[in-house]
Amino acid sequence: MAIAAAVVIVPLGILFFVSGLIINLIQAICFVLIRPLSKSTYRRINRLVAELLWLELVWLIDWWAGVKIQVYTDQETFKLMGKEHALVICNHKSDIDWLIGWVLAQRSGCLGSAIAVMKKSSKLLPVIASKYGEDLGGWCTRVGRGTRGCELWRSIRRVGDSFFPHVVFELVMSEMVASLLFGWKNCFGKHSSSVGNLLSETAVIGWSMWFSEYLFLERSWAKDESTLKSGLQRLEDYPQPFWLALFVEGTRFTQAKLLAAQEYAASAGLPVPRNVLIPRTKGFVSAVSQMRSFVPAIYDITVAIPKSSPAPTMLRLFKGQPSVMHVHIKRHLMKDLPETDEAVAQWCKDIFVVKDALLDKHVAEDTFSDQELQDTGRPIKSLLVVTSWACLLIYGALKFLHWSSLLYSWKGIAFSAVGMALITFLMNILIRFSQSERSTPAKIAPAKPKNGGEHLETISDKQH
């Protein structure tokens, strides 16, 4: 990791880590106390609370790195964004497409209710999670002594299996930290014993996503079909406009994956892609089937990087280096989609053929000339939130240091140094795992033309 980025990562990591744990605690309390009484009220509150965390990442793009996101769409679509439920599909072009989506949601006023379908093993922001040790079964926590912190977690435990599969231990610096972050082992029982089944739903980012009703899949259709169906059905009574994001390509775009997709398409008699991967349609078909009655629109988003701009990465963001992203948005009415699953799957494939041609045109013209450029501005809200968090945490840190005299002993200094090194290490994992070349490799094999579509879905289901 570059030194300049490391200097920035330590304070930003501490800010995000501590504020995120505060957000997690508030969300957990609301989940236990408010959701059983009124799910609608809980969702409204959680939307505001989650936004306080997501805005820190929006600030990273808007105010720290100064990434310019230029939106191309028609005026009607632009006015409707954030005012209706929408299923969002997008090509997976860059390392930070998910952040671009959050910025668009924030501009549209629905950041707190932006939801995504994600793989369980995702480590988009591994503030606590890391992959190391999974193959060996993870590590176990020690048996807790006493009852501190148990009552909240005992209350959560009443919801049973819907919560605990998403709870893991990872890095525990002391029993007190374990109590504050996760609760004691004797509160969680067997569910807290290992990180062998590491999920993306870990503290800070992962828990906030879980409380916000993100859908986590294992990328095995036999296991995911019922999970996706039930998760989508739960959104029917969502009280405010939401976006559900679905990357139907299933993985980030790289040249190696493109070559594999081209090889498969040529052997299967399909249109050979040049700028996108072949979409995996089962999840999309299920989403349309379950959401057709209460989601009026599909936002077809195409992301491109102009020739004059370097591709944005997490490392560039932390180093404060700007980039430019072009975003094309086309709105499709859900009611205009075909009725049968097979026809919906073909519709999705056809959309990506059109998207491929649109990206060809962008390569030639370096812009999306078929739509007008909309002024999205740069709202000051994220700057105010980060500034407020920073002031609050600095004040709290000064009070804590004065009370504990932590920096007046070699033991305290060593503890602080280890903590900062840990933050740097975890944020380095974030950068490494956000890089597209480290994402899931494509596993596409040649297929007979007559079975092309079915064979592709079978291969996609087996990817990890």
pLDDT at 34 over 80: yes
Instruction: Report domain extents, the chain.
Output: 3-131+198-388+430-461
Tens digit of each residue's pLDDT (9 = 90 or more) over 335-360: 999 999 999 999 999 999 999 999 99
pLDDT at 458 over 50: no
Q: What pLDDT is attached to residue 333?
A: 97
Q: What pLDDT is attached to residue 198?
A: 33
Tens digit of each residue's pLDDT (9 = 90 or more) over 145-167: 444 444 444 454 454 445 444 44
pLDDT at 79 over 70: yes
pLDDT band at 120 (very low <50, low <70, confident <90, very high): low
pLDDT band at 463 (very low <50, low <70, confident <90, very high): very low
Q: What pLDDT is attached to residue 28?
A: 93
φ/ψ of residue 168, rounded to 5: -140, 155
pLDDT at 176 over 50: no
pLDDT at 230 over 80: yes
Q: What pLDDT is attached to residue 90?
A: 93
Q: What mean pLDDT value characterizes the chain? A: 76
pLDDT at 202 over 70: no
pLDDT band at 461 (very low <50, low <70, confident <90, very high): very low
